[in-house]
Amino acid sequence: MKFDPQLMARLQAATQQLLKDGPAASSAALRDAMTGTAPADARRPAPTSRSFKDLNAAPDYARPTPATDSDTGAASAPDLAGFLAGLGVRLPEGFTMPAGAAEAFGKAGAFGLQPGFKLPEGFSLPEGLDLPEGLDLPEGLSIPNAPAMRKRTPPPPIPAGATFESASFANHGGSRGYKLYVPSTYKDQGQPVPLVVMLHGCTQDPDDFAAGTRMNQLAEEDGFLVLYPAQSQQANQSRCWNWFAPGDQQHGRGEPAIIAGMTQEIMRRYAVDPRRVGIAGLSAGGAMAVIVGTLYPALFRAVGVHSGLPYGAAQDLPAALQAMKSGRKGQHGRRPTSPPLIVFHGDKDRTVHAINGEQVLADALAPHGAGAPVTTQAKAPGGRRYTRAVHKGRDDRVVAEHWTLHGGGHAWAGGSASGSYTDPKGPDASRELIRFLMESTADVNVDA
């Protein structure tokens, strides 16, 4: 069927009326929207038994629900799904509606967003969600077979002698929980060990991220500590790091100050080699890793960014959603990243466009005057093709690597099905991240 924007606009206004006043009050609006005989959004008097009468009982999704303290006037998620089905919008089997989506639909209408509408925090479009032309659903909808919905396998058990314990940290920037992995070989090494800080993505937590990246297994093999800061739902409903908030993009404030302080606390409690402290993250965690690495280059000696965004990409949520789709606009908020940096990004990422990875790379190269990169193309053992570009600065040191994952989406490359948002096809982003950290900090001199 050919898309008719005028009919869609009339239906949108009619469904707004339906959400507001119920099916009886909007029957005339729907009728006029379909026939085009009257403006669908015109105010109408409340229907009476003489003007119109429903002969059939209202379906479950159209019946009023008791108001609660948190009721915003929008339909609940189950009612909303039924309402969409009643309008002929077919949802995939097993479809689930994320928290806040009902309110988004209630404000925006079932077909597209009104000008000025702001989506709930943390919404992102998962891989595999292909929308028909002309149909614009709020982002964040979850469907089966997407990286977040895939059936997970149990992670391997913690080896004897290793620990993976929870704790919390607080300073002037705020407080957050975290988990710390200490390998079984830590006490036997007798010398300072590297520390890797891993920032999870939206809807994830330290356990999920550790399982998906398999970073704990690598820590056990290579003998380093792994710190997993945990975003709280109080700070962000979807547990996204607030990379788009101005207060969380400054040295000594907000989440960067918390993450840096948490890292320093671990360095005081354990024998950590200050030359080999790195930070990495996925998606919102990748964007925050860029911010923290940029603001604290004396602390973090290397940065890893998987499917993330550049520093200063947004100053509020609407701008964040726009940046996710088309990258940072102009030079607003740009800051050169000084620590060596490795970037992974799928060229089919529909949640965070791949141009963001290119902008992250450009910021990393800016202070070093890097020339043409050394580029290689290969195919990972798991089946994913990739292009690796190695950039060196004026002193011939490697300052950045850029891994383009051909056909890759919004998921950690080479990850395990034990966690969400992973792509087992490879290449192994976790192993390459650790390799880059060790190589780029091998001859760094710092005052411990």
What would the pLDDT profile of 265-288 be if each residue is shown by its tens digit?
999 999 999 999 999 999 999 999
pLDDT for 341 beyond 80 = yes
Structure tokens at 144: 């089966």
pLDDT confidence of residue 15: 53
With a threshold of 0.95, does the pTM exceed it?
A: no
Strands 302-306 and 341-346 turn out to be parallel
pLDDT digits (tens, 9 = 90+) for 381-439: 878 999 999 999 888 889 999 999 999 999 999 999 999 999 999 899 999 999 999 99
Q: How far is CA 107 from CA 11, 81, 102, 229, in A?
A: 15, 15, 9, 34
pLDDT for 151 beyond 90 = no
Q: Identify which of 345, 354, 363 has the alpha carbon closest to the alpha carbon of residue 325.
A: 354
pLDDT for 343 beyond 90 = yes
Most confident of 77-81, 101-105, 216-220: 216-220
Report residue 432: phi and psi, to 5°.
-70, -35
Q: What is the mean pLDDT of residues 74-80?
A: 43
d(CA 212, CA 417): 6
pLDDT confidence of residue 370: 67
Q: What is the mean pLDDT of residues 138-165?
A: 65
pLDDT confidence of residue 332: 61
pLDDT for 141 beyond 50 = no
pLDDT digits (tens, 9 = 90+) for 13-26: 655 554 454 444 44
**CA atoms within a 13 Å half-sphere pointing along the CA-CB vector of 187:** 5
Torsion of CA 398, 399, 404, 405, to 10 degrees: 80
d(CA 100, CA 121): 9
Question: Which pLDDT band, with edges at 50, 70 and 90, does 107 fall under?
Answer: very low
d(CA 342, CA 24): 58
**CA atoms within a 13 Å half-sphere pointing along the CA-CB vector of 93:** 0
Residues sharing a CB contact under 8 Å with residue 420, sequence separation 6 or more, in sequence order: 147, 148, 150, 152, 203, 204, 208, 212
pLDDT confidence of residue 199: 98
pLDDT digits (tens, 9 = 90+) for 112-137: 334 444 444 444 444 333 334 343 34
Return the minimum-mean-pLDDT range out of 20-29, 54-63, 369-378, 409-418: 54-63
pLDDT confidence of residue 228: 98
Report residue 45: phi and psi, to 5°.
-70, 155
Strand order across the beta sheet in which 341-346 lies: 163-171, 174-182, 225-230, 193-199, 272-282, 302-306, 341-346, 398-405, 385-392, 374-379
| Rg of the chain on CA atoms, in Å | 25
